[in-house]
Amino acid sequence: MGPLTGYRVVEFAGIGPGPMCAMLLADLGATVLRLDRPVSSGLGTERPEAFNLLNRSRVSALVDLKAPEGIALALDLVAAADASIEGFRPGTMERLGLGPEVCLARNPRLVYGRMTGWGQDGPLALAAGHDLNYIALTGALHAIGRAGHPPTPPLNLVGDYGGGALYLAFGIVCALLEAQKSGRGQVVDAAMIDGAASLMAPFFGLHAADVHSDQRGENILDSGAPYYDVYECADGKYLSVAPIELKFRDEFYRRIGIDAKSLPSASDRKNWPAIKEVIAARIATKPLADWSALLEGTDACAAPVLSMAEAPHHPHHQARGTFIEIGGVMQPAPAPRFSRTPAGTPTPPRPPGDGGAEALIDWGIDAARVARLRSEGIVADRQA
Protein backbone atom coordinates (compact mmCIF):
# COMPACT_ATOMS: atom_id res chain seq x y z
CA MET A 1 0.00 0.00 0.00
CA GLY A 2 1.03 3.62 -0.48
CA PRO A 3 1.80 5.93 -3.42
CA LEU A 4 5.24 4.40 -4.03
CA THR A 5 3.93 0.87 -4.49
CA GLY A 6 5.67 -0.79 -7.43
CA TYR A 7 8.96 1.07 -7.06
CA ARG A 8 12.04 -0.92 -6.07
CA VAL A 9 14.95 0.52 -4.12
CA VAL A 10 18.30 -1.03 -3.21
CA GLU A 11 19.66 0.37 0.05
CA PHE A 12 23.33 -0.07 0.87
CA ALA A 13 23.16 -0.20 4.66
CA GLY A 14 24.53 2.72 6.65
CA ILE A 15 23.51 4.83 9.63
CA GLY A 16 21.35 7.87 10.26
CA PRO A 17 19.96 9.65 7.20
CA GLY A 18 20.32 6.75 4.75
CA PRO A 19 18.16 4.35 6.76
CA MET A 20 15.71 7.17 7.55
CA CYS A 21 15.32 7.92 3.84
CA ALA A 22 14.82 4.22 3.11
CA MET A 23 12.24 3.98 5.91
CA LEU A 24 10.29 6.93 4.49
CA LEU A 25 10.19 5.37 1.03
CA ALA A 26 9.31 1.92 2.38
CA ASP A 27 6.59 3.33 4.64
CA LEU A 28 4.93 4.81 1.56
CA GLY A 29 4.93 1.57 -0.36
CA ALA A 30 8.30 1.19 -2.07
CA THR A 31 9.89 -2.26 -1.95
CA VAL A 32 13.26 -1.60 -0.34
CA LEU A 33 15.93 -4.28 -0.08
CA ARG A 34 18.74 -3.40 2.33
CA LEU A 35 22.15 -4.91 1.70
CA ASP A 36 23.88 -5.40 5.03
CA ARG A 37 27.36 -6.64 5.82
CA PRO A 38 27.64 -10.31 6.86
CA VAL A 39 29.64 -9.24 9.92
CA SER A 40 28.29 -6.45 12.10
CA SER A 41 30.18 -3.20 11.58
CA GLY A 42 29.13 -1.83 14.95
CA LEU A 43 27.57 1.17 13.24
CA GLY A 44 25.06 3.19 15.22
CA THR A 45 23.70 2.68 18.72
CA GLU A 46 23.49 -1.00 19.65
CA ARG A 47 19.99 -2.17 20.64
CA PRO A 48 17.68 -5.12 20.02
CA GLU A 49 16.57 -5.00 16.38
CA ALA A 50 12.90 -4.59 17.38
CA PHE A 51 13.75 -1.07 18.57
CA ASN A 52 15.78 -0.06 15.50
CA LEU A 53 12.78 1.69 13.97
CA LEU A 54 14.67 3.19 11.04
CA ASN A 55 14.93 -0.37 9.68
CA ARG A 56 11.20 -1.06 9.68
CA SER A 57 9.10 -1.98 6.64
CA ARG A 58 11.82 -3.82 4.72
CA VAL A 59 14.03 -6.90 4.54
CA SER A 60 17.82 -7.05 4.53
CA ALA A 61 20.10 -9.46 2.74
CA LEU A 62 23.60 -10.09 4.05
CA VAL A 63 25.97 -9.74 1.09
CA ASP A 64 29.76 -9.67 1.12
CA LEU A 65 30.53 -6.62 -1.02
CA LYS A 66 34.26 -7.26 -0.75
CA ALA A 67 33.89 -10.39 -2.87
CA PRO A 68 33.57 -10.14 -6.68
CA GLU A 69 30.47 -12.32 -6.67
CA GLY A 70 28.91 -10.10 -4.02
CA ILE A 71 29.50 -7.08 -6.26
CA ALA A 72 28.04 -8.95 -9.22
CA LEU A 73 24.95 -9.78 -7.17
CA ALA A 74 24.55 -6.14 -6.08
CA LEU A 75 24.79 -4.99 -9.71
CA ASP A 76 22.10 -7.47 -10.72
CA LEU A 77 19.85 -6.07 -7.99
CA VAL A 78 20.58 -2.50 -9.11
CA ALA A 79 19.65 -3.54 -12.65
CA ALA A 80 16.21 -4.52 -11.36
CA ALA A 81 15.76 -1.39 -9.21
CA ASP A 82 14.26 2.03 -9.79
CA ALA A 83 16.54 3.70 -7.26
CA SER A 84 19.43 3.06 -4.91
CA ILE A 85 20.62 4.66 -1.68
CA GLU A 86 24.18 4.86 -0.38
CA GLY A 87 25.68 6.92 2.43
CA PHE A 88 29.42 6.33 2.34
CA ARG A 89 32.31 8.76 2.04
CA PRO A 90 32.95 10.01 -1.50
CA GLY A 91 34.82 7.44 -3.57
CA THR A 92 33.85 4.40 -1.47
CA MET A 93 31.25 3.05 -3.88
CA GLU A 94 33.56 3.70 -6.82
CA ARG A 95 36.31 1.64 -5.15
CA LEU A 96 33.85 -1.19 -4.60
CA GLY A 97 32.89 -1.16 -8.26
CA LEU A 98 29.40 0.11 -7.49
CA GLY A 99 29.77 3.78 -8.39
CA PRO A 100 27.21 5.73 -10.43
CA GLU A 101 28.89 5.18 -13.80
CA VAL A 102 28.91 1.41 -13.39
CA CYS A 103 25.38 1.23 -12.00
CA LEU A 104 23.88 3.58 -14.60
CA ALA A 105 25.57 1.58 -17.33
CA ARG A 106 23.72 -1.49 -16.05
CA ASN A 107 20.46 0.41 -15.55
CA PRO A 108 20.16 3.72 -17.42
CA ARG A 109 16.85 4.51 -15.65
CA LEU A 110 18.35 4.16 -12.18
CA VAL A 111 18.04 7.03 -9.70
CA TYR A 112 21.30 6.83 -7.76
CA GLY A 113 20.81 8.49 -4.35
CA ARG A 114 23.96 9.60 -2.48
CA MET A 115 23.98 10.83 1.11
CA THR A 116 26.98 12.56 2.67
CA GLY A 117 27.59 15.18 5.31
CA TRP A 118 29.96 17.53 3.49
CA GLY A 119 28.99 16.67 -0.10
CA GLN A 120 30.73 14.78 -2.89
CA ASP A 121 33.28 17.54 -3.42
CA GLY A 122 34.85 20.50 -1.66
CA PRO A 123 37.82 20.71 0.75
CA LEU A 124 35.95 18.89 3.55
CA ALA A 125 34.41 16.16 1.40
CA LEU A 126 36.61 13.34 2.70
CA ALA A 127 36.64 14.38 6.37
CA ALA A 128 34.70 12.51 9.04
CA GLY A 129 31.83 14.32 10.69
CA HIS A 130 28.39 14.08 12.23
CA ASP A 131 25.15 16.04 12.29
CA LEU A 132 26.39 18.60 14.81
CA ASN A 133 29.43 19.43 12.67
CA TYR A 134 27.40 19.86 9.51
CA ILE A 135 24.79 22.18 11.01
CA ALA A 136 27.56 24.12 12.74
CA LEU A 137 28.91 25.12 9.33
CA THR A 138 25.56 26.39 8.01
CA GLY A 139 24.65 28.92 10.69
CA ALA A 140 21.85 26.71 12.00
CA LEU A 141 23.57 25.58 15.20
CA HIS A 142 24.72 29.10 16.08
CA ALA A 143 21.11 30.29 15.84
CA ILE A 144 19.64 27.70 18.22
CA GLY A 145 19.75 28.35 21.95
CA ARG A 146 19.08 30.94 24.60
CA ALA A 147 20.76 34.29 25.01
CA GLY A 148 23.95 34.08 27.02
CA HIS A 149 24.19 30.30 26.63
CA PRO A 150 26.11 28.08 24.20
CA PRO A 151 24.34 26.77 21.09
CA THR A 152 21.94 23.92 21.89
CA PRO A 153 22.30 20.68 19.87
CA PRO A 154 18.79 20.03 18.45
CA LEU A 155 19.13 16.23 18.65
CA ASN A 156 20.18 15.19 15.15
CA LEU A 157 16.96 16.39 13.57
CA VAL A 158 18.34 19.29 11.51
CA GLY A 159 21.32 17.66 9.77
CA ASP A 160 20.75 13.90 9.63
CA TYR A 161 17.01 13.81 9.25
CA GLY A 162 15.70 17.21 8.14
CA GLY A 163 18.59 18.32 5.95
CA GLY A 164 19.68 14.80 5.05
CA ALA A 165 17.05 12.05 4.89
CA LEU A 166 14.14 14.24 3.86
CA TYR A 167 16.09 16.03 1.14
CA LEU A 168 17.42 12.74 -0.20
CA ALA A 169 13.91 11.22 -0.24
CA PHE A 170 12.56 14.35 -1.94
CA GLY A 171 15.39 14.28 -4.47
CA ILE A 172 14.88 10.60 -5.26
CA VAL A 173 11.15 11.04 -5.82
CA CYS A 174 11.80 14.11 -8.01
CA ALA A 175 14.30 12.14 -10.09
CA LEU A 176 11.86 9.23 -10.39
CA LEU A 177 9.21 11.62 -11.71
CA GLU A 178 11.67 13.06 -14.23
CA ALA A 179 12.74 9.57 -15.31
CA GLN A 180 9.14 8.81 -16.24
CA LYS A 181 9.37 11.56 -18.87
CA SER A 182 12.96 11.18 -20.04
CA GLY A 183 13.53 7.47 -19.54
CA ARG A 184 16.88 8.34 -17.97
CA GLY A 185 18.13 8.08 -14.42
CA GLN A 186 20.62 10.35 -12.70
CA VAL A 187 22.63 10.89 -9.52
CA VAL A 188 21.00 12.66 -6.58
CA ASP A 189 23.75 14.30 -4.51
CA ALA A 190 22.21 15.03 -1.10
CA ALA A 191 24.58 16.62 1.41
CA MET A 192 23.50 17.41 4.95
CA ILE A 193 25.19 20.80 4.82
CA ASP A 194 23.20 21.66 1.70
CA GLY A 195 19.91 20.52 3.21
CA ALA A 196 20.51 22.24 6.53
CA ALA A 197 21.48 25.44 4.70
CA SER A 198 18.30 25.18 2.64
CA LEU A 199 16.22 24.87 5.82
CA MET A 200 17.79 28.14 6.98
CA ALA A 201 16.62 30.06 3.88
CA PRO A 202 13.90 32.13 5.61
CA PHE A 203 16.27 33.13 8.40
CA PHE A 204 18.98 34.21 5.98
CA GLY A 205 16.32 36.38 4.36
CA LEU A 206 15.32 37.90 7.69
CA HIS A 207 18.95 38.45 8.60
CA ALA A 208 19.64 40.18 5.30
CA ALA A 209 16.64 42.41 5.93
CA ASP A 210 18.14 43.30 9.32
CA VAL A 211 15.12 42.00 11.23
CA HIS A 212 16.77 38.86 12.67
CA SER A 213 19.73 39.28 14.99
CA ASP A 214 22.75 37.07 14.50
CA GLN A 215 22.79 36.65 18.28
CA ARG A 216 20.70 33.72 19.45
CA GLY A 217 17.96 34.26 21.98
CA GLU A 218 17.17 37.76 20.74
CA ASN A 219 14.61 36.96 18.03
CA ILE A 220 11.00 35.94 17.80
CA LEU A 221 11.52 32.22 17.15
CA ASP A 222 14.61 31.50 19.27
CA SER A 223 13.21 32.18 22.77
CA GLY A 224 13.81 35.93 22.59
CA ALA A 225 10.18 36.99 22.28
CA PRO A 226 7.92 36.63 25.34
CA TYR A 227 5.12 35.33 23.13
CA TYR A 228 7.21 32.48 21.70
CA ASP A 229 8.77 30.50 24.50
CA VAL A 230 8.18 27.80 27.10
CA TYR A 231 7.15 28.62 30.66
CA GLU A 232 7.41 26.52 33.79
CA CYS A 233 4.18 25.61 35.53
CA ALA A 234 3.53 25.10 39.23
CA ASP A 235 4.32 21.37 38.97
CA GLY A 236 7.65 21.85 37.19
CA LYS A 237 6.25 20.92 33.78
CA TYR A 238 6.31 23.29 30.82
CA LEU A 239 3.78 25.07 28.64
CA SER A 240 4.67 26.14 25.10
CA VAL A 241 3.37 29.60 24.25
CA ALA A 242 3.33 30.85 20.63
CA PRO A 243 0.65 33.51 19.97
CA ILE A 244 2.73 35.51 17.50
CA GLU A 245 -0.22 37.31 15.90
CA LEU A 246 -1.77 40.12 17.95
CA LYS A 247 -5.30 38.66 17.88
CA PHE A 248 -4.00 35.34 19.19
CA ARG A 249 -1.87 37.12 21.78
CA ASP A 250 -4.91 38.98 23.05
CA GLU A 251 -6.75 35.67 23.35
CA PHE A 252 -3.85 34.18 25.29
CA TYR A 253 -3.60 37.07 27.73
CA ARG A 254 -7.36 37.11 28.28
CA ARG A 255 -7.53 33.39 29.02
CA ILE A 256 -4.62 33.34 31.48
CA GLY A 257 -5.85 36.46 33.26
CA ILE A 258 -3.40 39.14 32.18
CA ASP A 259 -4.58 42.61 31.19
CA ALA A 260 -2.81 43.16 27.87
CA LYS A 261 -3.15 46.91 28.25
CA SER A 262 -1.09 46.81 31.41
CA LEU A 263 1.92 45.40 29.57
CA PRO A 264 4.57 47.51 27.88
CA SER A 265 4.60 47.40 24.08
CA ALA A 266 6.05 44.18 22.66
CA SER A 267 6.98 46.04 19.47
CA ASP A 268 9.95 47.42 21.41
CA ARG A 269 12.28 44.48 22.03
CA LYS A 270 13.71 46.22 25.07
CA ASN A 271 10.40 45.42 26.80
CA TRP A 272 10.55 41.70 26.12
CA PRO A 273 12.27 40.70 29.39
CA ALA A 274 9.70 42.59 31.47
CA ILE A 275 6.78 40.99 29.61
CA LYS A 276 8.37 37.57 30.06
CA GLU A 277 8.52 38.08 33.80
CA VAL A 278 4.79 38.83 33.94
CA ILE A 279 3.86 35.78 31.86
CA ALA A 280 6.25 33.52 33.79
CA ALA A 281 4.82 34.62 37.13
CA ARG A 282 1.29 33.91 35.94
CA ILE A 283 2.03 30.50 34.40
CA ALA A 284 3.86 29.45 37.57
CA THR A 285 0.60 29.71 39.56
CA LYS A 286 -1.03 26.56 38.13
CA PRO A 287 0.01 23.04 37.14
CA LEU A 288 0.32 22.15 33.47
CA ALA A 289 -2.91 20.14 33.41
CA ASP A 290 -4.91 23.20 34.46
CA TRP A 291 -3.36 25.39 31.77
CA SER A 292 -3.86 22.68 29.16
CA ALA A 293 -7.54 22.37 30.04
CA LEU A 294 -7.92 26.12 29.80
CA LEU A 295 -5.93 26.78 26.62
CA GLU A 296 -5.90 23.73 24.36
CA GLY A 297 -8.30 23.92 21.46
CA THR A 298 -8.43 27.72 21.56
CA ASP A 299 -6.69 30.38 19.50
CA ALA A 300 -4.31 31.11 22.37
CA CYS A 301 -1.63 29.04 20.57
CA ALA A 302 -0.50 27.15 23.65
CA ALA A 303 0.22 23.46 24.15
CA PRO A 304 1.78 21.27 26.82
CA VAL A 305 5.42 20.23 26.39
CA LEU A 306 5.16 16.44 26.36
CA SER A 307 7.88 13.85 26.76
CA MET A 308 8.26 10.95 24.36
CA ALA A 309 6.57 8.76 26.98
CA GLU A 310 3.62 11.16 27.20
CA ALA A 311 3.14 12.23 23.59
CA PRO A 312 1.47 9.07 22.18
CA HIS A 313 -1.26 9.28 24.83
CA HIS A 314 -2.41 12.78 24.00
CA PRO A 315 -6.06 12.74 22.80
CA HIS A 316 -5.25 14.53 19.54
CA HIS A 317 -2.61 11.97 18.59
CA GLN A 318 -4.91 9.14 19.58
CA ALA A 319 -7.73 10.55 17.46
CA ARG A 320 -5.49 10.89 14.41
CA GLY A 321 -3.43 7.74 14.93
CA THR A 322 -0.21 9.76 14.87
CA PHE A 323 1.49 7.03 16.89
CA ILE A 324 0.98 3.31 16.43
CA GLU A 325 2.12 0.25 18.31
CA ILE A 326 3.87 -2.36 16.17
CA GLY A 327 5.33 -5.50 17.67
CA GLY A 328 4.88 -4.04 21.14
CA VAL A 329 6.86 -0.89 20.28
CA MET A 330 5.14 2.51 20.26
CA GLN A 331 6.34 4.57 17.30
CA PRO A 332 5.33 7.34 14.87
CA ALA A 333 3.00 6.31 12.05
CA PRO A 334 3.93 6.88 8.39
CA ALA A 335 3.66 10.46 7.17
CA PRO A 336 2.37 12.29 5.21
CA ARG A 337 -1.12 10.93 4.56
CA PHE A 338 -2.73 10.23 1.19
CA SER A 339 -6.45 10.21 0.38
CA ARG A 340 -6.44 7.63 -2.41
CA THR A 341 -3.27 5.61 -1.83
CA PRO A 342 -2.83 5.50 1.95
CA ALA A 343 0.27 3.90 3.42
CA GLY A 344 -0.13 0.53 5.09
CA THR A 345 0.96 -0.35 8.60
CA PRO A 346 4.76 -0.63 8.78
CA THR A 347 6.22 -4.03 9.48
CA PRO A 348 8.58 -4.41 12.47
CA PRO A 349 12.34 -4.28 11.91
CA ARG A 350 13.75 -7.72 11.16
CA PRO A 351 17.18 -9.01 12.14
CA PRO A 352 19.79 -8.46 9.41
CA GLY A 353 19.58 -11.34 6.95
CA ASP A 354 16.20 -12.59 8.14
CA GLY A 355 14.29 -13.37 4.95
CA GLY A 356 17.12 -12.03 2.81
CA ALA A 357 17.56 -15.13 0.65
CA GLU A 358 13.84 -15.19 -0.15
CA ALA A 359 13.95 -11.48 -0.97
CA LEU A 360 16.80 -12.01 -3.42
CA ILE A 361 14.71 -14.62 -5.22
CA ASP A 362 11.73 -12.23 -5.27
CA TRP A 363 14.01 -9.70 -6.96
CA GLY A 364 14.69 -12.13 -9.78
CA ILE A 365 17.90 -13.80 -8.58
CA ASP A 366 17.89 -17.51 -9.50
CA ALA A 367 17.24 -19.75 -6.48
CA ALA A 368 20.13 -22.06 -7.39
CA ARG A 369 22.49 -19.09 -7.54
CA VAL A 370 21.29 -17.88 -4.13
CA ALA A 371 21.87 -21.35 -2.68
CA ARG A 372 25.38 -21.44 -4.10
CA LEU A 373 26.22 -17.96 -2.80
CA ARG A 374 24.98 -19.00 0.64
CA SER A 375 27.17 -22.10 0.60
CA GLU A 376 30.17 -19.97 -0.36
CA GLY A 377 29.51 -17.39 2.34
CA ILE A 378 28.84 -14.57 -0.12
CA VAL A 379 25.25 -14.40 1.15
CA ALA A 380 24.70 -15.08 4.85
CA ASP A 381 21.57 -15.92 6.80
CA ARG A 382 22.36 -14.12 10.07
CA GLN A 383 24.70 -11.30 10.95
CA ALA A 384 27.67 -12.44 13.03
Active centre residues (catalytic): 130, 160
Burial 169-206 (b: 16+ CB within 10 A, else e): bebbbebbeebeeeeebbbbbbbbbbbbbebbeebeee
Terminal CA-to-CA distance of the chain, rounded, Å? 33
What span, in angstroms and rounded, lies between the C-alpha atoms of 158 and 194?
A: 11
List of E strands, the chain: 8-12, 31-36, 59-63, 83-86, 111-116, 186-191, 229-232, 238-241, 302-304, 323-326, 329-332, 379-380
DSSP-assigned letters across all residues of 20-76: HHHHHHHHTT-EEEEEE-SS----S----GGG-GGGTT-EEEEE-TTSHHHHHHHHH
Query: 255-258: long-range contacts (C-beta < 8 A, 24 or more apart)?
Result: 255/294, 255/295, 255/298, 255/300, 256/282, 256/283, 256/291, 256/294, 256/295, 256/300, 257/282, 258/282
DSSP-assigned letters across all residues of 127-180: S---HHHHHHTTTHHHHSS-TTSPPPP-TTIIIIIIIIIHHHHHHHHHHHHHHH
Nearest to 196 by CA among 219, 173, 165: 165
Bridge partners of 33, per DSSP, are: 10, 59
Q: Is the CB of residue 75 less than 8 Å from the CB of residue 106?
A: yes
What span, in angstroms and rounded, lies between the C-alpha atoms of 15 and 43?
A: 7
Cβ-based neighbour number of residue 149 at 10 Å:
10
